[in-house]
Chains A and B, each alone.
Chain A
Amino acid sequence: MGRRRNLPIVALAMAVIAVQLLTAAAGKPQYLTQLTMAGYYSLVIVGLTLLMGYTGQISLGHAGFFAIGGYTSGLLTTYNLHPLIGQIPVSILQACGLLVSGKDLYGADLLVVRPWAACVVALLVTIGIAYLVGKPVLKLKGHYLAMATLGFGTIVYKVVLGSSLVGAADGISDIPAFPLFAGLVVTGKSALRAQNYYVAWGLVLGAMALLTNLIRSRVGRALRAIHGAEDAANAMGVDTGRYKLQMFVLSAALAALGGVFLTHYNGGIGPSEASVMKSVRYVAIVAVGGMANLWGALFMGVLLNFLSLRGSFGSYDDAVFGLILLAIMLFAPDGLLRAEFARRLPGLRRGQKAAP
């Protein structure tokens, strides 16, 4: 049983390798850049699928968590501590080996936080914020939950847009590469394109393995119970408040992970990553993918982000995602890529009422 369970993960791994070989064979390695970026966005999307599709809690603020991750890591790895050398906090960090020195473009001395330390801090900050925000927000339902998360996302956007510390409207640029282990480096250098593609998709594989196992577990059953009828789940002894909060924090952490890696990959981050339109886009992709369908969301996330990043939608980018959202919710509210929807189709044609 155990082996068959993980079959989709193995299949995904093989597909990842096949795509890389195909792009190499077709002489189009530049596609790997967009596929890498789409991979990092997919982390946000599968996390949001867990929250929206399986737990039934909408979030219109996930771009905020993505941005908190990316901005924290970006700020820490670019903020020059060199003028502060000798002061006690900086000395402590230096002694712990958390800082790295270098030269900037003009040859001036630079002392910044090491990327891996910045990544850990970024994740911890996001988890902390998600916990603090999630605790009161998840008590709300329906419109109130939607508006509260939208409000949170807008606050993050307005703060990064208005703060000169993080470059205001320009965002942060010249963010250094992120050396992982065994010579792997997260960077946008085209020579390391294939390597970075595998780093991104390795993370996606890990996230999918975690989430697919999670939804099959006792936790997953509890989540579906919450989605179905929260009061009933509560009455059956499911600690609904705790599960909702845990899933909120987990999905926020996945979003932040995507944010951190994409920021180091791109070498920069701007306020548009925190915009409400980005959050809506994530929701649209989860909806198209089938709400409670991790594989559908992953597939649509890669497809739509790839097309969007290649510029296929031109200046109609936002419009495309708005219309997708509208069309799906009007005609197939349970999502397009959903087994039940396909099974219901013949029944619908005969005019039967589908079983709920």
Chain B
Amino acid sequence: MSLALLFQYLVAGITYGTIYAIVAIGFNIIYNATGIINFAQGEFVMLGGMIGVTLRALLPMPVAIAGAVIATMLVGALIEMLFIRWLRRPSVLRLIIITIGLSIAIRELALLLWGEGVRALPYFTGTAVTSLSVGDVHISPQVLWVLGISAVMVAALNFFFARTLLGRQMRACACNREAAQLCGISAKNMVTLSFVLSAGIGALAGCVISPITYVQYDSGSSLALKGFTVAILGGLGNSMAAVAAGLLLGTLESFSIWVMPAAYKDVIAISILLLILFVRPSGLFGNAEAARLKDY
């Protein structure tokens, strides 16, 4: 095994891992606000990619992507307002099944609108064969776009949650809903906002990754499972740990091709999910003491 090939796999792993991390952060934002695992999270990524490709036919690329992100955010808001907001003290089982139902509904709607075809945005710079060479390692410029935009997204989210009033209100609700409401924060609106935010980052991720992975009406579900694995691996609710966990899973998956046929790539991720759920459900970076107080 040459060193160049090793790096090549590493680059591929990091690229995929970044996207998994973004999906995981989407899971975490909604989980922190509501305690819900949104099984339709992957569908936001798919919708972003699909709407982006459709708008690209009419508009310049940056506008098309912005449009896709905004449209998906609206879908996120609509979902929360129509299906979640008015439920009174819903059980976990009920919420799980509702979000599963939503993911199927979105997927089938996408099938109806866009058909079974595989689509992709064009490469942001250059073409599919353009590559930057660093020594013997070839890197597609799109990989740099994925990493760059993801990094900006994570930094922006961090700023939003740490510095802005709205972000702090969301965090307050996540910490203690009743106390936040006593301070005049509308917990319900914060929940809607969490769906909007989560849909938005999912859609943006869907746009930047689509030139590499392509997008299809059913590409959401496998991403959701990977994203959930990463969220669990990092410890549910912990977005910074999700980034590390995402890179770890992406790299592991990428190198798994050495020992197993590529058809079993997804099996690796899911096996890791099961293993971590069995052994350490608080996640790799979670606090075992705090975990003891929680119900898994």
Q: A residues bordering B, Cβ < 8 Å?
A: 56, 58, 60, 136-137, 139-144, 146-148, 150-152, 154-155, 158-159, 161-162, 276-277, 280, 283, 287, 316, 318-319, 321-323, 325-326, 329-330, 333
Contacts and interface: CB of A to CB of B under 8 A. Distances in A.
Given A140-B281, A151-B273, A326-B83, A158 B101 contact: no
Contact of B281 (A60, A144, A283): A144
B108 A316 contact: yes
A27 to B, nearest CB: 36
B295 interface: yes
Contacts of B221: 276
Given A154-B266, A325-B101, A329-B94, A142 B228 contact: no
B91 to A, nearest CB: 7
12 contacts: A56-B93, A60-B100, A136-B278, A141-B296, A154-B225, A154-B266, A154-B270, A159-B264, A280-B104, A322-B108, A325-B104, A330-B83
Contact of B295 (A58, A142, A150): A142
Nearest to A279: B100
B274 interface: yes
Interface string B74-108: 00000000010001001111101110111011011
A141 B92 CA distance: 9
B176 interface: no
Contacts of B92: 141-143
Given A143-B92, A319-B104, A326 B273 contact: no
A283 B97 contact: yes
A57 B225 CA distance: 20
Contact of B101 (A56, A139, A323): A323
B166 interface: no
Interface residues of B, number: 37
Contact of B277 (A56, A144, A155, A161): A144
Contacts of B101: 322-323, 325-326, 329
B100 A147 contact: no
A337 to B, nearest CB: 17
B99 to A, nearest CB: 9
B186 interface: no
Give the interface SS of chain A, mostly helix, strand, loop or mixed. Answer: helix
Interface of B: 37, 83, 87, 90-94, 96-98, 100-102, 104-105, 107-109, 221, 225, 228, 232, 261, 263-264, 266-267, 270-271, 273-274, 277-278, 281, 295-296
A158 B264 contact: yes
A325 B100 contact: yes
B277 A147 contact: yes
A162 B101 CA distance: 27
Nearest to B96: A146
Given A152-B274, A326-B83, A142 B94 contact: no
A333 B267 contact: no
B37 A158 contact: no
For the complex of A and B, list the 3 residue pairs with the smallest distance between their C-beta atoms, beginning with the closest.
A322-B104, A162-B263, A326-B101
A322 B267 CA distance: 25
A161 B104 contact: no
A58 B93 CA distance: 8
B100 A142 contact: no
B94 A148 contact: no
A322 B94 CA distance: 14
A6 to B, nearest CB: 32
A60 B101 CA distance: 13
Given A159-B264, A280-B100, A326 B108 contact: no
